[in-house]
Structure 1
Amino acid sequence: MTSLGGVEMVDWNLAVATATRLVRPGPEVSRDEARDVVTELRRHAKASEEHVRGFTRLTPPGEAGDTPVLVVDRPGWVRANVAGFRELLSPLLGKMRERRASIPGGSVLGTVGGKVTGVEVGMLLSFLSSRVLGQYETFAPASRELPAGPDGGGRLLLVAPNIVHVERELEVDPHDFRLWVCLHEETHRTQFTAVPWLRDHLRGEIQSFLGETEMDPSTLLERLREAVQSLTGSRPEGERGEGAEGGADDADEGTRGSFVELVQTPAQREILGRLTAVMSLLEGHADYVMDGVGPQVVPSVAEIREKFQQRRASGAGRLDQALRKLLGLDAKLRQYRDGERFVRAVCDEVGMDGFNRVWTSPNTLPTKAEIAKPADWIARVHRKTD
């Protein structure tokens, strides 16, 4: 994972080592219990294929749906995501590396900066690795340890220790909860395997967002410093956000938002609006499917849903809430809620087949405004047929 052609902007090996060292231990389980959890998750993942495809009426063509399902621990999730990040961020980091080369002493800056950034990336991944239950990796380079689908297709990750931790914390039926999680993640797998153009469209939008980044490494480091200060509350007095008034608590609320928001240009904000709409659609669709299939195959789905929603909303204390805001995870929670409302409203009005027109082409995807007003999407997409 190191570059032979020069020093990387991010020391990815160090990121993995840092995250692995800092990652919290999972819940205590015996060897037999761990083996049973892995076996059951794989069985539920397989069963979820039929449930999800029958409910959504989406069927992957040919071998497209044959992407691997991997049950991993927290370090395994870190390694998979570092590989994905490295591939996705490669154009941006290459661009910044070229700029760094023109700066006097740039190679030294690169060596030091790459290690510092590697540690920071590792710290963030260690935080996230204990919170993710499952993930469909859309951009997943294949390796011997981490296989991926054909032609650079994705892979489904189920993080076993996190699933066990949450089912115990919520005090819900573990077998029902594991199937419930698999239904959500299998929906994402079906979305990308049944809609062949979706992966390339999303990659193009992300690359456009990254391509609009016009900053040298020193500027990026300054932005990162601001982000860290907004998290720790160490921003010097007089440098609080525009909305801040009063004491320290108000200053925390007036910070400039997530790190993604800190690096946006006007063009990036436009692209991010489109990305937000797509992600709201994908997450809301997964929640809608999970709830739609749930009553048929998950007896305690109502209890699980209620307790899980409460957990999503509450966070785990002040530090957790600050990190969620910094990383943009609060926005992701809104995507679940807003997207699910959009999908439900459309399905109620035009049925599942009518909703599935959303997968026709990038032009039929909802805009950010249409996510909030489903009737506008229905009018635009269904107007000709009507």
Structure 2
Amino acid sequence: MNLFRSAQAVADADGGGIIDWGSVAEAAKASTPAGDLTLSSEEQAGFRADVRDARDRLRAAGGVDFDLPETIEIQHRHHWIDANIETFRRVVDPLEPSTTVLPGVSRTINTGTMAVTMGFLGRNVLGQYDPLLLADGGHALYFVRPNIRRVADDLNVAYPRFRRWIAFHEVAHAAEFGVAPWLPEYLETRMQDSVTAISAGDLDQATFEELTTAMTAVEGYAELLMDRAFDEEYADLRAKLDARRGSGGPLKRLMSRLLGLGLKRDQYERGARFFETVADARGLEAASVVWERPENLPTDTELAEPIQWLDRVDP
């Protein structure tokens, strides 16, 4: 970790946009150790088996037919930062630069803020299903091996078991997007509209609610599939990971709050309760009806009243 080089990269931010993305990447990686990516043949085989088994068991449990992404990568932290810079850039770059007396200062602040964000996420993301929003189609699956290994040690759980659990969760997201080809564009449009409105000092409440509700469905359905497909009990893993999220120094807690990581856990729980009720009432395949078309997504009210959703879509 080289904090001086990170600060220097931000100070040297240049370019015509509101963020210098080259400096973001350099600063984020300078402040973030890449981590070890030395894989034994046994560990490589373990990753392959985890992903393959997750695909097969999720297909069987959910009654859904989907393919794995063509791109599946075991990464270190710098790989993850590089892979995500483009997505963040595509979200932010269409925004008009704010009029300011000191545009260079504004760009430096924006670059520094994004570098801190990318560095924090790079040190904490375990796995990621990336539908490559705002790109020309495609999707990818990433596993940040140094983070998975570190967290397994921190939680005092067996690394192969923890790695398998992460694989099942991320492949569950691949299942959702695989059966809902309309979903990336739906999320992309609402994400861009929300970011544009916020940058203008406004908030389109209806669009933001649609985005939040859709993401709650995405997280909740993945949680349901995990519950039904994972090949052993994992309540201890969830409890330990939740406890870990509440620990750490003040900087980590602040970053988690600013990045909405607590909200994401709320989404897991609220969405999981919704889909558990639906599956208990009509079966797991009835829950998958949510992905047939955008109109089948639950409203915010229906998330709290799943029977209303069942009456409306009548699966």
Fold in common (TM above 0.5): yes
> Does residue 311 in structure 1 map to residue 221 in structure 2?
no
Which SS does the other structure have where 2:141 is aligned?
strand
Report the CA distance shift for 1:303/1:11 in structure 2 as closer, same or farther (over 3 A).
same
In structure 1, the partner of 2:217 is 281
Asked whether 1:376 is paired with 2:308, we answer: yes
| Cα deviation, residue 111, structure 1 | 4.0
- The 5 A counterparts of 1:149-228 are 151-213=136-198, 215=200
The residue number in structure 1 matching 2:272 is 340
Distance between the aligned counterparts of 1:67 and 1:83, measured in 2?
18
* Native 8 Å contact 2:72 2:142 kept in 1: yes
Match of 1:127 among 113, 120, 128: 120
User: 1:176, 1:301 within 8 Å by CA — same for their partners in 2?
Assistant: no
Structure 2 letter corresponding to 1:270: A
SS in 2 for 1:91: coil
Shift of 1:25: 5.7
Q: Deviations 1:40-86 (Å, cap 9, x if unpaired)? A: 223312321111122122213xxx64431111111111111111111
Q: CA deviation at 1:198?
A: 0.9
2:77 to 69, 74, 77: 74
> Residues of 2 paired with 1:381 and 1:152: CA distance?
29
Distance 1:90 1:30, change over 3 A: closer
TM-superposed CA distance for 1:344, in Å, is: 0.7
Task: Check whether the contact 1:10–1:115 (CA below 8 A) recurs between aligned residues.
Answer: yes
- Aligned to 2:16, the other structure's residue is in SS state coil
Q: How many residues align?
A: 301
2:274 counterpart letter in structure 1: F
Q: Counterparts of 2:125 and 2:162 in 1: how far apart (Å)?
A: 14
Deviation at 1:132, TM superposition (A): 0.8
Q: What displacement does 1:160 show?
A: 0.5
Q: Counterparts of 1:36 and 1:18 in 2: how far apart (Å)?
A: 34
CA distance in 2, matches of 1:68, 1:320: 31
1:262-316 residue CA offsets vs partner (Å, 9 max, x unmatched): x552x2x22111111111111111122222212xx34x5343233233334x232
Is the CA contact (8 Å cut-off) linking 1:73 and 1:159 kept in structure 2?
yes
CA distance in 2, matches of 1:282, 1:152: 19
Structure 1, unpaired ranges of 5+? 1-5, 143-150, 216-262
What CA distance in whole angstroms lies between the structure 2 residues aligned with 1:30 and 1:14?
24
Residue range with higher mean Cα deviation, 351-360 or 154-163: 351-360
Q: Which residue of 2 aligns with 1:357?
A: 289
Change (3 A) 1:15 1:214: closer
| Amino acid in structure 2 at the alignment position of 1:121 | M
Task: Measure, in 2, the Cα distance between the counterparts of 1:323 and 1:172.
Answer: 25
Q: Cα RMSD between the aligned structures? A: 2.4
1:271 is aligned to 2:207: yes
What is the identity, as a one-letter code, of the residue corresponding to 1:362? P
SS of equivalent to 1:130? helix
**Cα gap change, 1:349 to 1:66, in 2 (>3 Å):** same
Query: How far 1:214 sits from its partner (Å)?
Result: 5.7
**Counterpart of 1:158 in 2: which secondary structure?**
strand
Q: Is the 8 A contact 2:291 2:297 kept in 1?
A: yes
Relative to structure 1, the CA distance from residue 42 to residue 58 in structure 2 (aligned partners, 3 Å threshold; closer, same or farther) is same
1:196 is paired with a residue of what secondary structure? Answer: coil
TM-score by length of 1: 0.72
Q: Tell me the distance in 2 between the aligned counterparts of 1:40 and 1:282.
A: 27
Moved over 6 A (4+): none
Q: In the aligned structure 2, how far is the partner of 1:32 from the partner of 1:196?
A: 34
Match of 2:90 among 87, 90, 107: 87
Contact 2:25 2:82 in 1 (8 A): yes
Shift in Å, 1:32: 5.2
- CA shift, 1:178, in A, is 1.0
Alpha-carbon contact 2:133-2:184 (below 8 Å) kept: no
Asked if 1:15 is matched to 2:15, the reply is: no
Unaligned runs of 5+ in 2: 1-14
